[in-house]
Amino acid sequence: MTYARKAPTLVTVSVELFGNARLLAGRSLLRLNVADDCALKDIAEAIGRLHPNLVGTVVREDLTGFLDSYIVNLNGVEFIDDQHQRLIEGDSLLVFSSLAGG
């Protein structure tokens, strides 16, 4: 018997931008087609390529993730810091400031 890793499939996820990220991008919602086993860094890179003015302000300069001042929440429920988060079709990623409170 041979074991084969399931090939990644493409899923469409939403990215909801809040705060300064929204103002800089000029929009609140992005849709991305990404592999279902993609990591957060892949999402960050996709966002950075789509909106270069978010690079250095929301996404790290080298596109390897989000800046510490931003946090990512999956579907409004779970905060993610895992660089390899499995996503499913229709997921929403909320990107907002990691500075809570006020």
**Which of 1, 4, 52, 68 lies at the binding interface for other proteins (CB under 8 A)?**
68
For residues 59-92, one letter each, b for 16 or more C-beta atoms within 10 angstroms of the residue's C-beta and e for the rest, the string is: bbeeeebbbeebbbbbeeeeebeeeebebeeebe
User: Does residue 18 touch other proteins according to CB under 8 A?
Assistant: yes
The nearer residue to other proteins, 9 or 75, going by C-beta atoms, is: 75
Interface with other proteins (CB under 8 A):
16, 18-20, 22-23, 28, 67-69, 71, 73, 75-81, 94, 96-102
